[in-house]
Amino acid sequence: MIAVLALALGVAAGIFFEPTVPLGLLPYLPIAVVAALDAVFGGVRAKLDGIFDDKQFVVSFVSNVLVAALIVYLGDQLGVGSQLSTGVVVVLGVRIFGNVAAIRRHLFRA
C-alpha cells in the first residue's frame, strides 16, 4: 500500500516539477527505469509467492539500476552503446514478461 502511494507521489512530483533530464544522464535514465521496473515486478511476484524480502528487494532494485547504467556506460565507451542498450532492454523485457506471467497466474489462476 505504502509502495503504491510512494509511486503515485513520485509520478505527481515528476508532473509537477517538469524537470529536464541533465545531458549526462540522458542515455542512462531509460535503461535505469526499465531495470527498476524489472525489480519492482520481481518484488510483486515475490510478494505473491510469499517469499518477499525487504532487503533482497532493495538490493536487487539498486543493483539492477546500477548494473544497467554500467552496461550502457561500458557500451558507450566501446562504441556499441545503442546495441548494448537494446540488449539490456531485451533481457529485462523478457524477465518482466516472465514475472508478469507469474503474477498473472497468481491473480487469475491462469
Partner 1 sequence: MKKPANLVIAVLLAVLGFALVVQVRAGKSDAELSAARPEDLVRILSDLDAQQDRLRDEINDLEETRRQLDSGAEGRDAALAEARKRADELGILAGTRPAEGPGLSIDLIAGSETIRPGIILDAVEELRGAGAEAMQINGAGNAAVRIVASTYFIDGTGSQQDRLVVDGLALAAPYTIMVIGGPDTMRTALNIPGGVVDSVRQHGGTVSVHQADTVRVTALHTAGALKYVKPA
Q: Which residues bind partner 1 (CB under 8 A)?
A: 2-3, 5-11, 13-15, 18-21, 26, 29-30, 32-33, 36-37, 40, 43, 54-55, 57-58, 61-62
CB-based contacts of 62, cutoff 8 Å, min separation 6: none
Between 19 and 24, name the residue whose CB sits nearer to partner 1.
19
To the nearest whole angstrom, how small is the minimum distance from the Cβ of residue 64 to partner 1? 11
Between 13 and 70, name the residue whose CB sits nearer to partner 1.
13
Maximum distance among all alpha carbons in the chain?
Answer: 46
Between 7 and 105, name the residue whose CB sits nearer to partner 1.
7
Q: Quote the CA–CA distance of 70 and 85 in Å, as a whole number.
A: 11
To the nearest whole angstrom, how small is the minimum distance from the Cβ of residue 6 to partner 1? 4
Closest listed residue to residue 61, CA positions, set 24, 86, 34: 34
